[in-house]
Amino acid sequence: MQEFERKQLLERVEREGATVGADIPETITVQGEEIDLRTFVFEIKRRETVPPGERDRVEQAKRNLRRERVERLERIEEGDISRTEGEELAQSIIGIDRALNALENLGPTDLEREQQAKQAADTKRWMSFLKQALGHDDDQSARRGR
Task: Tell me the residue range of the domain where 18 lies.
Answer: 3-108
90 lies in the same domain as 54: yes
Nearest to 105 by CA among 15, 45, 33, 146: 45
Task: Give yes or no for a contact between 55 and 49, defined as CB atoms under 8 angstroms apart.
Answer: no
- 136 and 80 part of one domain: no
Q: For residue range 10-34, list pLDDT tens digits in order.
A: 998 888 887 787 888 888 888 788 8
HEC profile of 76-103: HHHCCCCHHHHHHHHHHHHHHHHHHHHH
pTM of the model: 0.65
Q: What's the domain count of the chain?
A: 2
Is 125 in the same domain as 83? no
* pLDDT tens, position by position, 84-143: 999 999 999 999 999 998 888 775 545 566 677 788 888 888 888 888 888 876 554 455
